[in-house]
């Protein structure tokens, strides 16, 4: 008689135990790591980060778009690895690109699609406008060359040195930064998704240990929607470049409140046709606490100075912020 086939059975390890037994005080997570409720819905724990092991109890940091990939642990599916959720493609000027694809929409820009966001680096980095000391700068198309060249109509008035209040970095070629055999590339932050209130700004960067191009996001607030900034414009003036509230405030996201109060600067408004946009900013990290006790961190744009000008571009033009009219290093940080 035929011998019956034996089937090997696997018993999945149970990582959750009830009733819950939690330490008296929640753990202190490193900066940028979310404090979440574990997968057992029991205790507060530091979320697992990209490349770290995860289980049904040790959950991945969903605030960073991570999930637990169990594909390498078949057939038990007990222990996985925290991985990035597969990104979506991008559409630029009617053309669809795959996630991670690098392309050149024209000879002046080299772009990469990262999870729905397009980050571009200008190829014409050696040309700088003569800025404030040139009475009439013009871009001239050179025969056989992609990149235009800046010229000044009145060559007798050109100063040989840059103005003292303009960083000399604005006139120098941008050297590629090297880090552990990696050419570090970070695109400028995209324009804020909202002209008032809390919005999102994105960029792509490989400034990480893996030298991998990743999409980064930060919150941005150009100006409050509920404040009429025109009332703060001084008599006889048409613009207020920077507005700052008198009292500190807390940032709020989906009911979660920043653990510390802040008094940020905002870009002002004009009563004529000019618009005010930031030209000096940095990125800060703000810690939030939710009503259920969980915590997470978000990067937020911190405005240092704004500039009121007539050149009000379409906020959806991803190439607009790559123009070199200001100190590029200050715009990109």
For residue 292, pLDDT over 80 is answered with yes
Q: Establish if 328 belongs to a structural domain.
A: no
Compare 168 and 81 and report the one with higher pLDDT: 81
Arithmetic mean of pLDDT, 234-252: 90
The confidence score (pLDDT) of residue 325 equals 40
For residue 26, pLDDT over 70 is answered with yes
For residue 265, pLDDT over 90 is answered with yes
Strand order in the sheet with 117-122: 102-106, 109-114, 117-122
Same domain, 49 and 130: no
Mean pLDDT of all residues in the chain?
A: 77
Q: Establish if 6 belongs to a structural domain.
A: no
Encode pLDDT of 157-188 as tens digits: 434 443 334 333 333 333 344 555 677 778 88
For residue 263, pLDDT over 90 is answered with yes
Same domain, 231 and 145: no
The confidence score (pLDDT) of residue 299 equals 92
The confidence score (pLDDT) of residue 135 equals 58
The confidence score (pLDDT) of residue 172 equals 34
Same domain, 202 and 277: yes
Q: Establish if 189 belongs to a structural domain.
A: no
The confidence score (pLDDT) of residue 311 equals 65
Same domain, 79 and 130: no
Same domain, 293 and 222: yes
Instruction: Pinpoint the alpha helices (H) of the chain.
Output: 328-332
Here the tokens at position 29 are 């997570």
Nearest to 168 by CA among 176, 159, 156: 159
Q: How many domains are there within the chain?
A: 4
Long-range contacts of 93-100 (CB under 8 A, 24+ apart): 100/213
Same domain, 214 and 250: yes
Task: Return d(Cα 174, Cα 182) in angstroms, integer.
Answer: 16
* DSSP labels, 244-257: E-SS-B--EETTEE
Same domain, 116 and 132: no
| 113 alpha-carbon distance from chain centroid | 14
Same domain, 288 and 245: yes
* Highest mean pLDDT of the ranges 92-101, 163-172, 225-234: 225-234
Name the percent of the chain lying above pLDDT 90: 17
The confidence score (pLDDT) of residue 174 equals 34
Q: Establish if 12 belongs to a structural domain.
A: no
For residue 274, pLDDT over 80 is answered with yes
Q: Establish if 18 belongs to a structural domain.
A: no
Arithmetic mean of pLDDT, 86-97: 80
For residue 193, pLDDT over 60 is answered with yes
Tokens 């990743």: give the residue: 214
Q: 77-101 b/e with 16+ CB inside 10 Å = b? A: eebbbbbbeebeebeeeeeebebee
Confidence (pTM): 0.53
Arithmetic mean of pLDDT, 6-26: 78
Structural domain boundaries, residue 208: 197-315
Same domain, 71 and 56: yes
Task: Return d(Cα 168, Cα 246) in angstroms, integer.
Answer: 35
């Amino acid at each position: 008689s035929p011998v019956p086939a034996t089937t090997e059975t696997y018993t999945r390890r149970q990582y959750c135990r009830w009733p819950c037994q939690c330490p008296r005080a929640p753990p202190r997570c490193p900066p940028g790591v979310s404090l979440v409720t574990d997968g057992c819905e029991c205790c507060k724990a530091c979320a697992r980060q990209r490349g770290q092991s995860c289980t049904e109890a040790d959950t991945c940091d969903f605030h960073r778009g991570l999930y637990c990939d169990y594909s390498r642990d078949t057939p038990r599916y007990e222990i996985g690895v925290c991985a990035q959720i597969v990104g979506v493609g991008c559409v630029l000027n009617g053309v669809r690109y795959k996630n991670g694809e690098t392309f050149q929409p024209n000879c002046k820009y080299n772009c990469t699609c990262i999870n729905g966001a397009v980050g571009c680096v200008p190829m014409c980095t050696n040309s700088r406008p003569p800025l404030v000391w040139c009475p009439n700068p013009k871009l001239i198309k050179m025969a056989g060359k992609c990149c235009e060249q800046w010229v000044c109509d009145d060559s007798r008035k050109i100063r040989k040195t840059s103005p003292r209040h303009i960083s000399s970095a604005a006139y120098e070629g941008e050297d590629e930064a090297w880090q552990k055999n990696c050419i570090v590339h970070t695109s400028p932050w995209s324009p804020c998704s909202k002209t008032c209130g809390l919005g999102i700004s994105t960029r792509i960067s490989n400034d990480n240990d893996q030298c991998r191009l990743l999409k980064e996001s930060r919150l941005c607030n150009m100006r409050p929607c509920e404040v009429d900034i025109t009332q703060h414009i001084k008599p006889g003036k048409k613009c207020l470049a920077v507005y700052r509230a008198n009292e500190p405030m807390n940032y709020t996201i989906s009911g979660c409140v920043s653990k510390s109060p802040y008094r940020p600067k905002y870009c002002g408004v004009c009563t004529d046709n000019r618009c005010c946009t930031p030209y000096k900013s940095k990125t800060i990290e703000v810690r939030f606490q939710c009503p259920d006790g969980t915590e997470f961190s978000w990067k937020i744009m911190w405005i240092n100075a704004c500039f009121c000008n007539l050149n009000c571009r379409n906020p959806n033009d991803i190439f607009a912020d790559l123009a070199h009219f200001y100190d590029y290093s200050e715009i990109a940080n």
